[in-house]
Amino acid sequence: MPKPKIADRIKNLPPYLFATIDQLKQKALAKGADLINLGIGDPDLPTPDAIIRRLQRAAENPKHHQYPSYEGMLTFREAAADWYRRRFGVRLDPKNEVLTLIGSKEGIGHLPLAFINPDDVALIPDPGYPVYHAATLFAGGRSHFMPLKKENHFLPEFDRIPNAVLKKARLLFINYPNNPTSATAGKEFFKEVIRFARRHKLIVCHDNAYSEVYFDGERPMSFMEMDGAREVGIEFHSLSKTFNMTGWRIGFAVGNAQILAALGKVKSNLDSGVFQAVQEAGIEALNLKDSVTDEIRKVYQERRDTLISGLMGLGLSVEPPKATFYVWVGVPKGYTAMKFTTHLLDRAGIVTTPGSGFGKAGQGYIRMALTVPNERLIEAVGRMERLLS
């Protein structure tokens, strides 16, 4: 059989960052390395028991064995709306302002198909979650990257975007608390986003997957709390990080009903919704007491403090994150992001993620995830100390 001809949209994709890291990791494991994996953001903590028990009961119900509804069970969307009311003080109509997703990644990946025509532009943070760019390419659009710089608190500078780009721009992706930089944003920034979106007729897509992983009692806000947010955009949320449910694949989007309806139309043609037993488990998660998520945050805060203290002791450039379970670390002089990542993996058995994999502006940094037990973080710092000395 002749070699199949691959579509240009696939050829033009950059290698998916975490797949590349996984290849390097597998090579190290094959050599017998004892790896400390601070790479991908996959919680090592178990899903709370109550959620698992709800799934078990729901899986036995024959009603859930058939195709689910495309937009998600109304009871799940009601639970999501009620959670938004309790957590953010935002009131949503569950019938048309909440859409169930197969994880927020799926919704982000499908959104440009609803709004990007060939040669249209999406405004994308750099560094940023790689799916924003990949989804734009799949839709035939072009990405304009907005550098996130330390001196600007890792917020985009909208006044630096050329007018020629803005004339073709349709989507604006933002993400706070931010992956990979861990930066947070407040009311003044979101006010600026709304003004900017209105001026240039942009659809705002706020990725809020990390709002519940925060420290020192400083709770991040929702974009939907702002007056006018619902007029210009939507917000993606996920149960993955909040409730340690990355493998369950369930999330939701909220906000502008027309935007959600267009995304739902794409989804109805490409997927068949979320298994209803998983949605039942999602309802359980969204109704859990705050004490459950408080305990999860307590674990991550202890890990954050351990790792930050160790990295500072090594003289590395790092600031304690206010949210997310990521630490954004400046690489030592003489290293690129990828060179330092490879050095740590080959010589110390520590898996990290090069900042350059999230975009050009991520050069000079690596990302470390707080997704291993505290004692392994202490071990990682010890290995780095021996290596760097």
Query: How many independent structural domains does the chain possess?
Result: 2
Last residue of a domain, one of 263, 288, 313: 288
Whether cis (ω within 30° of 0) applies to the bond prior to 177 is yes
Which DSSP category does 6 fall into? P
Do 224 and 253 sit in the same domain of this protein? yes
Say if residue 67 is in the same domain as residue 163.
Answer: yes
C-alpha to C-alpha distance for 159 and 166, rounded to whole angstroms: 10
Dist. CA 30–CA 209, nearest whole Å: 34
pLDDT band at 167; cut points 50, 70, 90: very high
Task: Provide the residue count of the chain.
Answer: 389
Q: According to the model, what pLDDT value does residue 21 have? A: 75
For the cut 80, the answer to whether the pLDDT of residue 17 exceeds it is no
> What is the pLDDT at residue 314?
97
Instruction: Using alpha carbons, select from 378, 199, 368 the residue that is nearest to residue 306.
Output: 378
Average pLDDT, whole number, for the chain? 96
Q: Say if residue 193 is in the same domain as residue 215.
A: yes
Q: Please tell me whether residues 25 and 69 are part of one structural domain.
A: no
Same domain, residue pair 318 and 236: no
Domain membership of residue 2 (yes or no) is: no
The confidence score (pLDDT) of residue 338 equals 92
Of the candidates 360, 338, 353, 350, the one whose C-alpha atom is nearest the C-alpha of residue 388 is 350
The residue among 233, 259, 288 that closes a domain is: 288
pTM (global) more than 0.85: yes
Here the CATH number for the domain that contains residue 325 is: 3.90.1150.10
Is 15 a domain residue? yes
Whole-number Å distance between alpha carbons of 294 and 290? 6
302-323 residue pLDDT tens: 999 999 999 999 999 999 999 9
Helices (H), 116-256: 130-138, 163-166, 187-200, 229-232
- Average pLDDT value for residue range 208-235: 98
Q: Exposed, middle or buried, 36 (CB in 10 Å: 0-12/13-18/19+)? A: buried
167 assigned to some structural domain:
yes
Q: Which helix (H) or strand (E) holds 17?
A: helix 17-30
CATH of the domain at 91: 3.40.640.10
The parent domain of residue 313 ranges over 8-46+291-388
Q: What does the pLDDT look like over 105-151, one tens digit per residue?
A: 999 999 999 999 999 999 999 999 999 999 999 999 999 999 999 99
pLDDT at 16: 67
